[in-house]
Amino acid sequence: MRSPRLLTICCLAFAAVAASALCPISARAEVVRSPDGIIEVEVDLDNSAPFYAVRRFGGEVIGRSRLGFVLTDGSQLTTNFKIVSAEHSAHDETWTQPWGEKKNIRDLHHELRLTLEQQDDQARRLVLVFRVFNDGVGFRYEFPERASLDEIAIADEVTEFVLADDADAWWIPAMEDNRYEYLYRHSPVSQLHKVHTPLTLETDSGLTICIHEAALYDYASMTLVGKVDRTLEAELVPWSDGVKVHTHTPAQTPWRTIQIVDTPGELITSYISLNLNEPNKLGDVSWIKPGKYVGVWWEMHLNTATWGSGDKHGATTANTKRFIDFASRYGFDGVLVEGWNVGWDGNWYDNGEQFSFTQPYPDFDIEELSDYARKKGVYLIGHHETAGGIDNYERQLEDAYDLYERLGVRAVKSGYVVQGQNIRRREGNKEFREWSHGQYMVRHYQHALETAAKHHIMLVVHEPVKDTGIRRTYPNMMSREGARGQEYNAWDWQGGNPPDHTTILPFTRMVSGPMDYTPGVFDLLLEKGDRPNNRINSTLAKELALYVVIYAPLQMAVDMPEVYEAHLDALKFIRDVPTDWEDTRVLHAKIGDYVTIVRQERDGEDWYLGSITDEVGRTLETPLNFLDRDRVYVAEIYRDADDADWKKNPTAYEIDKMEVDANTVLTLRLAPGGGQAIRFYPKNQE
């Protein structure tokens, strides 16, 4: 809902910028500024070619950068343009997320719509739309319906980001075998080759910048290619025939986003991507419920159980009941079960066509388990591994979701484990191999999401296309993987995720949205498993802190029931911590070193703090001025013991209680590779 104050501001801002609306202009530059006047975007034509630039406080952030497209028929939508019209507008509203890291989101921006027309017989048009927020810029292209431009096959999008500084970049490689699942690297922009977004940058002038995209629908996802002179150019993920995008007019691209903030922590609380997506299209979403779950999953990664059938099969009726009992006893909402369905035997990785998504193995009684879970106040979380066999999956999709809906399965975790350009697609008798984040798969993920919504099912997607904020429009899109998660610690030949990995994720991968990292391992040395060369590279207190630091509305407690029951005092934090928030704030932030985040329980009074560090031990002074000034709180502190160390003594932790208020300054002591988790609740709740 819009408040009267916001409506007044909106009207005044609109009046200030609307004087030039719809007036035909020459090739002079058009300027649109953020509502606070700090960020300025200039768009103009240079020798009939469109360019844009971005300044902040008058200083260049993005230098003059090209815009436009090359089509497969040789047409150049890059030059020979004139400006037909420029429309300026302002927007200010506050909207409410059905779930999220912040309940109420303010969308405050100024917009420029610039219509270009080519000066030839075809008179093709291209519309440039820029929205400028106080913390960054979003822009996209629109292709109006024209007789001269109907079917479009894009060969190249020439969008550039010419950086003013040779900024330090935090990045993962694109167009390689392992999708997004790489350790982040750190180097100057001038050394980049081909990288994924979100791409996070720290400039010499002290700014933090993140380049990404929003509202990715029926289009190829964007990677970035490093060119000369600090220039990054959009490189769309191609179809197997080399075409980047097939579409027809009218059409629009995803938004290209440039978040620009003073500190890395402000990236975490920047909501440009959500604001550039359309409002909820699903109507009543009361059936969408954040929560926490356990499940038959970690033991397969530990190699003590198998996905396939046989003596070590994990997804049995008896084993699943054990997890249901545990979930019911300790207040978890769901139980994930992987390996329940026929198709896992043999080389499933290369044989996605063999999966059935409705036929369970004989030792998994899905009907009985659904009833058993329901009586225990728990629901099953389904699992669909496709192994890249998309045709096989889509043939069964409706029946699979229909089965789950009938059984009361409220959420599904899906997987697309393939390497490189190896998604299998058939047309007639021909088979093609596609990338997992090209237009073909963007279409598939959307089809699966909308089918799930029709059956009132929430999705958690592994091996996904990257998040671009579409959870605002389709709130059943709960979270994604899209980076190296916890499982790498169980079997990665390099030893798993180093301690700094989770201090990088909040500023890179997680700028795009929630992540299913699957935290919460207490058996840090994997003594219950069959992985002698692997371990969890953190302390137990850090595993607790990750429930606050790494946001996911459906959050897993990954370890085995017997491990948790040996540490019921530490398990209490996982049981208590919510997965839906009223507000989020960042107290400390240095990419790759440390981060401290506090979140307030939605519609509640409790606050939760998570603070983590890399391999270096630290003390962080932490004012508690986010607390209500009129109340005294109890701080329930889960911290590293004084002798804790991720290498030498990772399971050493202490639990303390103390009274605090908004004037308190806590000293957080974080062991090497460690962390601290705190619940703050009003004293009168005891």
Non-local CB neighbours of 288 within 8 Å, separated by 6+ positions: 98, 99, 458, 475, 476, 478
* Burial bucket for residue 57 (CB in 10 Å: 0-12, 13-18, 19+): exposed
Q: Which DSSP symbol is given to 13?
A: H
Please, is 208 exposed, middle or buried when counting C-beta atoms within 10 Å of its C-beta (0-12, 13-18, 19+)? Answer: buried
- List, in sequence order, the alpha helices (H) in 410-455: 439-454
Dihedral, CA atoms, 464, 465, 471, 476, nearest 10 degrees?
-40
**At 661, phi and psi to the nearest 5?**
-145, -175
- Give, rounded to a whole angstrom, the gap between the first and last alpha carbons of the chain: 35
Q: Is 202 left (phi over 0), alpha (psi -120 to 50) or beta?
A: beta
Catalytic residue among 87, 434, 481, 487: 487
- Under DSSP, is residue 340 helix (H, G, I), strand (E, B) or coil? coil
For the chain, helix (H) and strand (E) counts, in that order, are 13, 39
DSSP H stretches of helix in 515-662: 540-549, 561-565, 568-576
Q: Which of 212, 216, 215, 217 is nearest to 201 (CA)?
A: 212
Q: How many residues does the chain have?
A: 686
Residue 270 falls in which region: left (phi positive, over 0), alpha (psi -120 to 50) or beta: beta
What is the spatial distance between Cα 495 and Cα 536, in angstroms, rounded to a whole number?
A: 9
Nearest Cα neighbor of 633 from 653, 654, 596, 663 is 663
CB 255 within 8 A of CB 481: no
Question: 3-class SS at 331?
Answer: coil
Cα dihedral 682→288→285→447 (10° resolution):
150
d(CA 216, CA 237) in angstroms, rounded, equals 13
DSSP 562-583: HHHHT-HHHHHHHHH--SSEEE
Pairing mode of beta strands 423-427, 675-682? unpaired
The question of whether 487 is a catalytic residue gets the answer yes
What is d(CA 56, CA 78) in angstroms, rounded to the nearest whole number? 26
**578 closest CA partner among 289, 328, 325:** 289
Q: What span, in angstroms and rounded, lies between the C-alpha atoms of 670 and 593? A: 12
Which long-range contacts link 5-11 to residues 24+ away (Cβ below 8 Å)? 6/92, 6/93, 6/94, 6/106, 7/92, 9/92, 10/90, 10/91, 10/92, 10/93
Listed in sequence order, the residues at least 6 apart from 632 whose beta carbon sits closer than 8 Å to its beta carbon are: 659, 660, 661, 682, 683
Would you name the residues annotated as active-site residues? 487
